[in-house]
Amino acid sequence: MSEAFLHNPALPAFLLASLVLAATPGPGVIYILARTLEQGRRAGLSSVAGVASGNLVNAIGAAIGLAALLTLSSLAFAVIQYAGALYLFYLGVKTLATAPPSTPGDAFGKAALAAIFRDGFMVAVLNPKTALFFAAFLPQFIHPAAPAMLQSMLFGVLFVLIALVTDSIYVLTASAASPALSRLHKAPRFARYLSAAVLIGLAVLAATSASSRSR
């Protein structure tokens, strides 16, 4: 199966399309950048790992038919999307209520980084549009000579790995620019407000999208 997958004539096209899509800034990238600018490189990379894990769950879910269920059931889609919007809103309010750390962002302990990972995972896994994206995108590259479900899983894992790399590049770039930004007056407070605004804005966007779909 692995040999057939590697010799799939559509694989180069998949890699190119995945790279373009993963590198294009979207809500996930905005969330990761906000975390990085507010809390530092390690927090940003923890968010990347959490988002990638959530996306992997959605990719596997799409492969086994979860996306088909969400497509058929507008109620299931709306419930999951509203849950994601509420979680994003909670994170935004939590960010506003939390004072900026007195130590550098890269000095986070394991417990704090685990919580940041969890937040990134929840943000990604509670976005049903990701599962629908995989369900629409991955079949374009499935070879009829091999099992479709296994191919779909392999393509999904590959896409998540590509996105993991591009998101990490965004984090490292933002982290490199962060020292210059931190020299500005009131920069830590501004970063906290910016992060909260991004999270709440994403929550409103997700809720509005769910509302328009349910009509």
Provide the residue-wise pLDDT of the chain in tens; the chain has 215 residues: 566 667 778 888 889 888 988 888 777 888 898 888 888 889 999 999 999 999 999 998 888 886 676 667 777 777 777 887 888 888 888 877 766 554 444 555 677 889 899 999 998 888 877 888 888 788 778 777 777 788 888 899 999 999 999 999 999 998 888 766 555 545 556 667 777 787 788 788 777 766 665 55
pLDDT, residue 185, reads 47
pLDDT, residue 53, reads 96
d(CA 83, CA 97): 21
With contact defined as beta carbons under 8 Å apart, do 39 and 116 qualify?
A: yes
User: Whole-prediction pTM value?
Assistant: 0.76
With contact defined as beta carbons under 8 Å apart, do 123 and 87 qualify?
A: yes
pLDDT, residue 200, reads 85
Closest CA to 35 of 83, 98, 81, 86: 98
pLDDT, residue 80, reads 73
pLDDT, residue 170, reads 93
